[in-house]
Amino acid sequence: MKFFVDTADTAEIKALAASGLVDGVTTNPSLIAKSGRNILEVVAEICAIVPGPVSAEVAATEYEGMMREAAVLRKIASNVCVKLPLTPDGLRACKTLNGEGVMTNVTLCFSAAQALLAAKAGATFISPFVGRLDDIGQDGMELIADIVTIYDNYPNFETEVLVASVRHPIHIVEAAKLGAHVATLPPNVLRMLYAHPLTDKGLAGFLKDWAATGQSIA
């Protein structure tokens, strides 16, 4: 499974990328607004840090506007992935951009039927929002299972399942068990994957015993 980090905070991205665990980055209008910076500058900086796909979302809601904005975003760097809403105009733009060899991330997916349409439009990634489904009493992981099953039935589909709206490590583990290709995680959730009390306890014990030897390796 590939890990993308879901943030526009370049300091966070640099710190996490240094671990070698970051395969890409996803942003959205809300994350750009939170950064307080110009979207073009932020995306360019992120693309220079991470060689993998960097999702930058259009703000237009109609096809012509999406294509104009996509033309600007795709010029930033070769690893820009144009993020589009799962709407008729968004899918039309996805189809066009796919034909031009541009990576696309179709976002705000909440049903398997929508994911099927995105794959037929040639999306590079489909982003089902598991946390938001959980919030309204539905099981987000059931959606991931449905999409993975459908895509596996059709080998000509090249769209990768990018699990989004991740809230905790269980989402990641369950998505990996189901065979999702990618998960995009907020920085704090990515760091949660490291944590286990037995790891901390075991390390503390090793260090205590080592100190008692009075030895030094270097």
Active site residues: 83
- Contact indicator for 131, 96 with CB cutoff of 8 Å: no
Question: 157-192 burial string, b = 16+ CB within 10 Å, else e?
Answer: bebbbbbbbbbebebbebbeebebbbbbbbbebbee
d(CA 96, CA 102): 9
Structure tokens at 24: 């890409």
> CA nearest 183: which of 141, 154, 218?
141
Residues 6+ apart with CB under 8 A from 138: none
d(CA 158, CA 82): 17
